[in-house]
Amino acid sequence: MAQALTEAAILAPRLERPAQARRTHSAISTSLAFWLLAPSFFLLFLFTYVPILEALTQAVSLEGFGGKPIGYGLGNFQRLFADASFWKALWNNLVYGLGTVAPSIILAVVLGVALQEATRLNALLRTMIVFPVVLPLVAVATLFAFVLMPGVGLLDHHLAKLGIAATNWLGSPDTALYAIIGLSIWKNAGYYMLFVLAGLQAIAPELHEAAKLDGAGPVSRFFRITLPLLKPTLAFILVIAIINVVTQIDHVIVLTGGGPSDSTNIILNYIFQAAHQQGDSGRAAAATVISVAALLSLSVASLRTLERGMHYES
């Protein structure tokens, strides 16, 4: 018994040294990681969270004659909700989102599945489809201004061969928003296709080979293997697409400026008009707070909905 206690007393310091060394190494690694990430955290706080806090403060700040602050309250939100132009912009943004998100993602999945094989033809087609991604949105809008020009534009030129009369696509309230939607689908589908291709590369080929041996056809393999395993990728794409619906505005400003008759006026353009054209910074800040809150809620809900119940094997 005495010998066992003696041996334990001798071994105890030896066992403590590696544990202490591991704790010291872990503390040093944590400290190093913090200092390496500190500049990024500082810039993120400075250019993201500070503007959000300023917008929130301005949204609840009440101004009197001459722009003098007179207190805090929800007056800016009340004026915002009483503005018919805000509800029109909100409805336009909803229609714009429904018209661009689902078609763009579906088209990206179809193109990704069709072009996933590494062949020279597929490489060429991928390049052609991804080409709009590298173009600035302002340049794409300028290009579409010529394509959609009534009577002499490229679209009306080809429609005239089919006996369809010329249409003022951007000048009519009935078609202007749908023209913007078509531009956005053309611009974003190739971008989303890149993520789909990356997700397809992560799917083990053995799964498809086993399904083929069991007699599963291409359609069955797509819905039972490919699509379920693409859900994490689709969840990520959906969040990006929702962000684009709220933040992309260059093409609206270049092509229509929100017109005609506010038919293409979306939330971000409404905020721009309220802040810079009408000088109502309080109402613009209130609309900004609502937009950020809605965007955050939709993003979180999209991720939770699409990732719920998914199980993967490495």
pLDDT tens track for 226-241: 888 888 888 889 889 9
Per-residue b or e along 165-190, where b marks 16 or more CB atoms closer than 10 Å to that residue's CB: eebbbbeeeebbbbbbbbbbbbbbbb
Which of the pair, 259 or 194, is modelled with greater confidence? 194
CA angle at 60 for the pair 67 and 267, rounded to the nearest 5°: 90
Sign of CA dihedral 196, 197, 198, 202: positive
pLDDT at residue 11, as a whole number: 47
CA angle at 99 for the pair 94 and 101, rounded to the nearest 5°: 90
pLDDT at residue 15, as a whole number: 46
**pTM value surpassing 0.85:** no
pLDDT at residue 225, as a whole number: 86
| Percent of the chain residues past pLDDT 90, beyond the cut | 31
Could you say which architecture CATH assigns to the domain 83-307?
Orthogonal Bundle (1.10)
Using CA atoms, how far apart are residues 52 and 257, in angstroms rounded to an integer? Answer: 26
Domain ranges of the chain: 2-59, 83-307
pLDDT in tens, 53-106: 888 888 888 876 666 667 788 888 999 999 999 999 999 999 999 999 999 999
Q: How confident is the model at residue 7 (pLDDT cuts 50, 70, 90)?
A: low
Mean pLDDT over 203-212 rounds to 84
Using CA atoms, how far apart are residues 83 and 98, in angstroms rounded to an integer? Answer: 23
